Each structure stands twice: as C-alpha cells, then as structure tokens.
Structure 1
Amino acid sequence: MPTPQKTAIVTGAASGLGRAMALGLADAGFNVIAVDLNADGLGTLPAPIAPLNADLAQPDSFERIAAETITRFGGIDVLVNNAGIGQAAIRPDQRSHPIRFWHITPEQWQRFVTINATAPILMSRAVLPHMLQANSGRIITVTTSLGTMVRAGHLLYGSSKAALESSMAVLAADLAGTEVTANVLVPGGTTDTPLVGAQAGDRSKMLRPEIMLPPLLWLVSDQAAGVSGRRFIAADWDASRPAPQAAEAAGAPVAWLSIARMPIEPGP
C-alpha cells in the first residue's frame, strides 16, 4: 500500500519566505494549503498548491483553516507559521528613520502583537488536536534573529517576535513526551522579501527566500522526528554536509534556554 501523501499548512504563503517554503514543500511531495490575506498573490501559486484566503487578525480564521485542510486532505502533518508584519508597513524608511519606542501608538503595538505573536499561537492551537490524535506532527515557526529582538528602533517587530519565540519554547516543553515537535527557523539576516520594504537597501546583497528550504525539508523528514525545542539559522546551514551535521552546526536551543535558569520556588 502506498504511503499517504502528507499535508502542510504554510501561512503568509503569497510571497517571500512563505511562498518559497510552500513551493519547496509541494516539490517535495506534500499537499500544501497556502494561507494569506493577499488573494491576488495566492492566485499566482501553481497547482496543486491549494490557496486559502484568510485574515489571521480575525479570531475565527484559525479553526476554519484547520477544518478546511482536514476536509480537503484528511489530516494536518506540518504547520509552518510564517505570516508576519514588518516595520516597513508603518514607516517605509524605518531603517534610516527609526521608529523609536516613544513613537509607536497603542494601535500599532496591538497590530504587531496580534499578527506576529498571537496568530501563530492560535494557529498552532487549532492544528494541535489533529496532530495529537494522529500521534504525529511538526510545527515550524519563523521568528527573527535574536539580535533583532533587542535592536534600537525595533520595538514593534523585535518584541512581538520575541514573544513568539518564547511561546514556541513553552509549546515544545508542553509537547515533551508526544510525537509532535515544535521548532523555530529563521533566515539569519535581511532577506529579499516584501516584509523588509522597498527602502531596505541593496536587494542583490540580501539573503534569498529559498535559503529556508534545506533546513525546512530536513525538519519535516523522518530524520528529524525526535527534534524539538530547537531554533535553526538557515544562513548557517551547510548543504554540502550530511543533514544531521548541518543541523547540529546551524541549531541551538529555542529562545534563551542555553542561558536560562528556573526561578527559585518554595518547597511543599
């Protein structure tokens, strides 16, 4: 009997990193549900990738995405939390004219937290019952470089992504003992995507979105079945080495676990 085709959901799949990852997973034989608010961009993705127009700022989107994926393909094996918003959406010249802490509005802060932090948590929450029931699943989340989380002028993007990084560390810990894994994947530098904006610098010197594919395809493979609670930097992935060696060199504990200590707590 042939092995059933696996199914992946990729959010933010109309352009940039998400598009590259959706195409890479489809080429690797996955059924792919490509989720994005940009319906026109989704329409340019080739068959058999299945477009699904959704606004991840709306609380009812997550269960609908999971339900439509189950209806269409019968299961959910992989979730790639990629959708996000960058600071160029607030100020196109934000790299030369930084958005200082005191410049932001409450509405801007809420928007970034909703899209960059809350939406991936709720998307993970929507797929987890299906993965746990199947006793199998991979959740891969795109955050950002740790340095960006503390960089001057990056409160909106850096802090919202830091919250997402923390949530993935908690998720991986909560999933210990299951066959569902949670890991973080970042490009490792400025990447040529719409998120960075038109004034981000010389695009020929930026990383390419396809840099995500070697670590992504390893993370969804059988080789990575026991790998959880790790963050991988795509720019550090040496595709000339065997994948486990490349993963060891490009990986580290998710979030700040390498320096974290648990708090002192009272005994019973």
Structure 2
Amino acid sequence: MSKVRTLFSVWLAYMLEYRAELFFWALAGVLPLILLGVWQEAASSGAFPLSRSEFARYFLMVFLVRQLTVVWVIWEFEQDLVQGRLSHKLLRPLDPFWDYLLAHLAERAARFPFVALLLLLFFLLYPEARFAPHFGDLLLGLGLTALAFFARFLMQYTFALLAFWTERAAKLEELWFVLYLFLSGLIAPLEVFPEPVRALALLTPFPYLVYLPAAFLAGQEVGLFPGLWVILGWTLAFLLLWRGLWRLGLRRYSGHGA
C-alpha cells in the first residue's frame, strides 16, 4: 500500500505541473455540452420521451462521466513498448498495470477542479438543468462511474497488450471507440434509440460506461439490473483476457531479448 500511495503522489505532482494542459483536456470533452443544445431543441417538438430539462441534466451528467472515465493508456503503453521504457517499468516491484492506473487516477484528481468549474458555468447557462439529486442516486451514480472507469481502463489496457504482437494496437481501439461513441449514450440517451438497436446495445458493455451512471446522476428512472450484471460480466471477461495476454506478451517480449 505504501508503494501505491507513493506512486500516486508522484503522478499527482507530475500532473499538477501541467495544469493549463489539463484545462484544455477538459475543454476537449465538451461534445456532450454541444449535443445538449441540439437535443434540447429537438425536445421542443415533443417527439421524444425526455423533456428539455431532462435532456439538459442528462448531457451535463454525460459530460461529468466522460471527464471521469476518459482513458488513453493504449497510446502510453504502445509508446513505452516501442521506445523501450517498458523494460524499466518491469524492473519495479509493481505490475506496470498499476503504474498506468495510478497515473490516470492522479490525472483525474488534478483535472476535477476544472471539470467542476465548467459544470458550474453550464449550470448558470442552463437554469433548467439545475436540480438536487437524491443522495442515494448520487452515491450510486458515482459508484457506477468508478466501475465504468475501471472497466474502460481494463478494456483499453487489454487492447494495448496486443502491441506485443503488432505496432497498430491503437487501431483496434479506434474501431472500438466508434462503437462506444454510438452505443454508449454519449451522443443520444438510450430512450431515443429504436427498440431493436436499444436491445442490442444493452447486451454490449457500452451503455454501462456512460448512459447508466449518467442517468442515475441525472435522477432519471432507470433500472440497476440487469445492467450491473452485464458490465460486471464484461469486466470479468476482460480481466481474464488481460492476464492471459500479459503472460503471453511477456514471454514474447523477453524472447526478443528485452
């Protein structure tokens, strides 16, 4: 535990050196806030199951969830592997997985003040989005956000391990991100999806990475089950896949003299 605390504090200090860059990273995730205005105008027609205020609250919470769950580990791992830095990480008495994970958590802690500032600004710009969430929904939404972050990180880290065999592992993540973009609830809440598309999406991990935690945080009436079991099942599957690919990848890496 002392190793984890020390590594987290080192990464936090490192992230705080780039506060201006963190602010621009936070601004880069404003797509949900742009879509907020689009869907609010669409809701005025009365053709959708959510009202203007419900759309506003939902997309503000999507912005928050996205800011807390953004992951870039595949590009870091790929660069470390290609440039030889992974060898140095393997000499440490800690699996590199935790090094990358703690770097992401430290970045979240450093980024959060900027995210809170942007949320406050948009609450002022959209008075209809102001609401007081139930304490239970807030806790559950934050818990689901933490689970979504870990699942997203684990999925991308598992894809990153393919860099042991190919230098284009990030291309798979780009394909995965297209599915994530359309099925996660990032560009539209699942309530507006056609029923067949919605039923298919609910079998994938994507809605539980954005839609479910955002809906709870926004105070919408959504069911926790079976969605929780679905995302836990996908997380377990990627956990097993990660461990298998890690063992095979290390053998290949050491076999090349690294």
TM-score (ref. length: structure 1): 0.34
TM-score (ref. length: structure 2): 0.35
Larger Rg: 2
Higher helix share: 2
By relative contact order (CA 8 Å, sep 6+), the higher-ranking structure is 2
